């Protein structure tokens, strides 16, 4: 493998560490890179994604780029029109509200299923993420730590299909959450809510953890709505 797959700002080694069993295809690499760029908000909504331009960034042909774009479309991160190309998907306020509603439903269920399976090690890991969240200021890392905190608990549910849907729905709205964290200061509140969720988990109270998770997501959704409404006018 030469350096031809390494565009500026993409950490190949990080990806390789995720899946050592088999080398990633070019399409995999492009997919992961674009997904990351979209959910972190580095690619603004509505931005054109030209196949040729992306191919040149990675020093590959358009074939794997098209495959990556096709996958991104399936996940709702971009929209494409025949012969016109792909743009980063923009979500209406109604669509964002619906996704928060959906997340509240399934993540509340996932945490309920997870609590009985939580062991000390997992709780300690979650505690570290929870503390790190309070100390962090960089919005990208905040988003990452937020994910890790919730996922570390959710994984104990042993429900891979649920988790896949959690990830997919969070992917769609993550950039809006991060934008909000950058401009407003919702971090202290989110931190307190994380603290309460973790406490409920430590006490083995599945119903409480579930209710708090639900409220945590709906709170974040509501404050994002007010932020977006004034931002969009």
50 binds DNA (CB under 7 A): yes
Which residues from 35-54 bind a copy of itself, rule CB under 8 A?
A: none
Instruction: In whole angstroms, give the CA distance from residue 167 to residue 91.
Output: 17
**Which of DNA, a copy of itself, none lies near 78, with the C-beta cut-off 5 to 8 A by kind?**
none
Cα distances (Å, whole numbers) of residue 81 to 33, 87, 181, 233: 22, 9, 32, 28
Q: Where are the alpha helices (DSSP H) in 81-204?
A: 93-114, 120-135, 139-154, 160-183, 187-202
Instruction: In whole angstroms, give the CA distance from residue 63 to residue 40.
Output: 25
**Which of a copy of itself, DNA, none lies near 126, with the C-beta cut-off 5 to 8 A by kind?**
none
**Of 103-111, 131-139, 182-190, 209-217, which part binds a copy of itself (CB under 8 A)?**
103-111
Classify residue 74 by burial, with Cβ atoms within 10 Å: 0-12, 13-18, 19+.
Answer: exposed
**Of 7-15, 22-30, 93-101, 182-190, which part binds DNA (CB under 7 A)?**
22-30
Cα distances (Å, whole numbers) of residue 219 to 86, 108, 190: 33, 13, 9
Nearest approach, Cβ of 65 to DNA (angstroms)? 8
Which residues from 63-102 bind a copy of itself, rule CB under 8 A?
A: 63, 66-67, 70-71, 74-75, 81-82, 95, 98-99, 101-102
Q: DSSP state, 184?
A: S
Mask for 147-186, x = binds a copy of itself (CB under 8 A): ------------xxxx--x---x-----------------
Interface residues toward DNA, by CB under 7 A: 23, 25-27, 49-52, 60-64, 66-67, 80, 82-86
Interface residues toward a copy of itself, by CB under 8 A: 22-23, 25, 27, 63, 66-67, 70-71, 74-75, 81-82, 95, 98-99, 101-102, 105-106, 109, 159-162, 165, 169
């Amino acid at each position: 493998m030469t350096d031809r797959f390494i565009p500026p700002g993409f950490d190949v080694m990080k990806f390789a560490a995720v899946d050592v069993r088999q080398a990633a295809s070019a399409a995999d690499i492009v997919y992961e890179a674009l997904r990351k760029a979209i959910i972190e908000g580095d690619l603004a909504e509505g931005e054109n994604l030209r196949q040729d331009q992306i191919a040149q960034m990675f020093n590959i042909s358009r074939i794997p780029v098209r495959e990556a774009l096709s996958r991104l479309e399936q996940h709702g991160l971009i929209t494409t029109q025949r012969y016109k190309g792909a743009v980063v998907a923009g979500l209406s306020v109604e669509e964002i509200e619906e996704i928060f509603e959906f997340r509240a439903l399934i993540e509340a269920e996932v945490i309920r299923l997870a609590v009985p399976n939580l062991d000390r090690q997992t709780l300690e890991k979650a505690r570290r993420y929870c503390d790190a969240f309070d100390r962090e200021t960089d919005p990208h890392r905040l988003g990452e730590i937020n994910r890790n905190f919730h996922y570390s608990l959710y994984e104990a549910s042993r429900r891979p299909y649920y988790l896949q849907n959690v990830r997919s729905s969070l992917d769609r709205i993550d950039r809006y959450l991060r934008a909000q964290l950058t401009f407003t200061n919702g971090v202290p509140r989110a931190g307190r809510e994380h603290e309460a969720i973790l406490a409920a988990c430590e006490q083995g109270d599945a119903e409480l953890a579930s209710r708090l998770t639900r409220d945590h997501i709906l709170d974040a959704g509501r404050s994002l709505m007010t932020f977006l409404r004034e931002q969009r006018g």
